[in-house]
Amino acid sequence: MRRRWAAALAAALLLLLTDVRPALAGAPITTAIYTADPAALVVGDTLYLYTGHDEAPTGGTNFVMRDWHVFSSTDATTFTDQGAKLSISNFSWAGADAWAGEVERGADGRYYWYVPVNGNGAGWMDIGVAVGNSPLGPFTDAKGGPLVSDSTPNSSPLNIDPTVFTDDDGQVYMYWGSYYGLRAARLNANMTSINGSVITPSGVTNFWEAPWMFKRNGVYYLAYAANDSACSQPGYACIRYATASNPLGPWTHRGVVLDQVSSTTNHPAIIEYKGQWYMVYHNASSPGGGNFRRSVTIDKLYFNADGTMQKVVQTSGGPTTPGNLAATATPSTSYVSPWETLAAINDGFTPANSADRSHGAYGNWDHQGTEWIEYRWPTAQTISRSEAYWFDDDQGIDLPASCQVQYWNGSAYVNVPGQSGCGVAANTFNATTFTPVSTTRLRLNITSRTGYSTGVLEWRAFS
């Protein structure tokens, strides 16, 4: 039998050390287009997101990215697409691959947009820089050629994903890279040339790509995508982070701040806006989405008193399902393992399969037999259908042997009348229909298979 005591202990310790707060009930910043690779910038009272634009067809197996969009918001919830403000065609020396960029305000008050592009010269990806007089541009090529290319001494094996940071003394730094090759350099005050040597920073454990640098309370933070098996399934990435007391390191790895998402790539932007910190990232959870049809989304991020970051709760897997009464219910349970997340069952996420715990999962390992989850509403709801998406981690949690939907009739829990059967299939929502009941509480009794516990990724209820 598999043992998860070490994980349980670590998770229980984490729960003791951190406080749990409500997350932003989010959705993608848009479903009109597919967006990816966010960078965030606050100017005045406006939050700007600079994103890539995924244009791969349904089922496409490669990135199709030709331009970048700017989104603006004054509440970090509703975003306005200001349009494609920069395009591959702005760089006469480049031909394709409008990948992950970032905008930084220069000492001259202009806005510099650093972007990886496929140059027409030798090698693959280069980093170019455009400039504009406002956060919305218009932007033009600021240099007329790459700022970083394969011919830059000590450049990364893949020169992509620049993050640009200005320190309090005005010195500007750029980190970038992929294929495990993180690089850093000082930029000159003109924002368009490198000052000194390109260095290989130390201590950034399991760096893969997508660095994002910021400073808080005198501490430098570097968040980045890592794809090691300790934090993500093969082919997927989590977001780890490191801290330092010097902008060029050495860095100290601090842990995972964002678990893997529903897209294979993962890409962070961390920013404080109107007194609240946010994690902006992308996933594949929008309708028709995929690894090359991603959507930028945003969730709140919290710091612990010691400056470490709490793991972000992913609330924004896609638009809410119309009529799903679970969205307004308070969940409870007979038992949840300390490292699992009861709140996952009504976060509105549509799992990709029964092993998809990218939005957390409810699980009751190592209990066996019958456990229950329940929804409560402050006022009576008329309910005639529920849909359960079972969690199966291929370890101690398996599909249930059986289940039963019950409701509170005012004095006791009783089976819902005319129940159509309670399905236990994997990788799908199992619908149970019944004669409508009016109740403040709906309960799902779940009975395990011998030797296993049970879990739920999402449980919906409808009138």
CB of 91 vs ligand FUB, minimal distance in Å: 16
* Residues linked to residue 216 through DSSP beta bridges, in sequence order: 219
Structure tokens at 19: 């406080």
Nearer to ligand FUB, 101 or 331 (CB): 101
Burial of 181 by CB count in 10 Å (0-12 exposed, 13-18 middle, 19+ buried)? middle
Q: Does 267 bind ligand FUB (CB under 6 A)?
A: yes
Q: Does 239 bind ligand FUB (CB under 6 A)?
A: no
Site string for ligand FUB, 4-43 (x = CB under 6 A): --------------------------------xx------
Total binding residues toward ligand FUB, as defined by CB under 6 A = 13
CB of 308 vs ligand FUB, minimal distance in Å: 24
CB of 205 vs ligand FUB, minimal distance in Å: 18
Burial of 262 by CB count in 10 Å (0-12 exposed, 13-18 middle, 19+ buried)? buried
Q: List Cβ neighbours of 150 (8 Å cut-off, separation of 6 or more).
A: 122, 123, 124, 126, 159
Q: Does 177 bind ligand FUB (CB under 6 A)?
A: no
CB of 356 vs ligand FUB, minimal distance in Å: 19
Site string for ligand FUB, 271-310 (x = CB under 6 A): ----------------------------------------
Q: Does 462 bind ligand FUB (CB under 6 A)?
A: no
CB of 199 vs ligand FUB, minimal distance in Å: 21
Nearer to ligand FUB, 63 or 462 (CB): 63
Nearer to ligand FUB, 209 or 392 (CB): 209
* Residues linked to residue 52 through DSSP beta bridges, in sequence order: 36, 68
Nearer to ligand FUB, 297 or 364 (CB): 297
Burial of 234 by CB count in 10 Å (0-12 exposed, 13-18 middle, 19+ buried)? exposed
Strands, DSSP E only, in 15-162? 34-43, 46-54, 67-73, 80-87, 94-96, 102-105, 111-119, 125-132, 140-141
CB of 52 vs ligand FUB, minimal distance in Å: 5
Q: Does 387 bind ligand FUB (CB under 6 A)?
A: no
State the DSSP string of 283-334.
ES-STT-BTTB-EEEEEEE-B-TTSPBPPPP---SSSPPTT-GGGGPEEEES
Contact call for residues 106 and 191 (beta carbons, < 8 A): yes
What 3-state class would DSSP assign to 14?
helix
Residue whose C-alpha is closest to residue 363's, from 408, 396, 323: 396
Residue 104: CB atoms within 10 A of its CB come to 22
Nearer to ligand FUB, 124 or 303 (CB): 124
Contact call for residues 360 and 352 (beta carbons, < 8 A): no
Q: Does 161 bind ligand FUB (CB under 6 A)?
A: yes
Site for ligand FUB in 398-427 (CB under 6 A): none
CB of 223 vs ligand FUB, minimal distance in Å: 12
Nearer to ligand FUB, 158 or 383 (CB): 158
CB of 461 vs ligand FUB, minimal distance in Å: 36
Residue whose C-alpha is closest to residue 364's, from 454, 276, 449: 454
Q: List Cβ neighbours of 121 (8 Å cut-off, separation of 6 or more).
A: 93, 146, 149
Q: Does 99 bind ligand FUB (CB under 6 A)?
A: yes
Q: Does 132 bind ligand FUB (CB under 6 A)?
A: no
Q: Does 160 bind ligand FUB (CB under 6 A)?
A: yes
Q: Can you say how many angstroms the Cα of residue 140 is from the centroid of all Cα atoms in its chain?
A: 31
Site string for ligand FUB, 195-224 (x = CB under 6 A): --------------xx--------------
List residues binding ligand FUB (CB under 6 A). Answer: 36-37, 52, 63, 99-100, 116, 160-161, 209-210, 265, 267
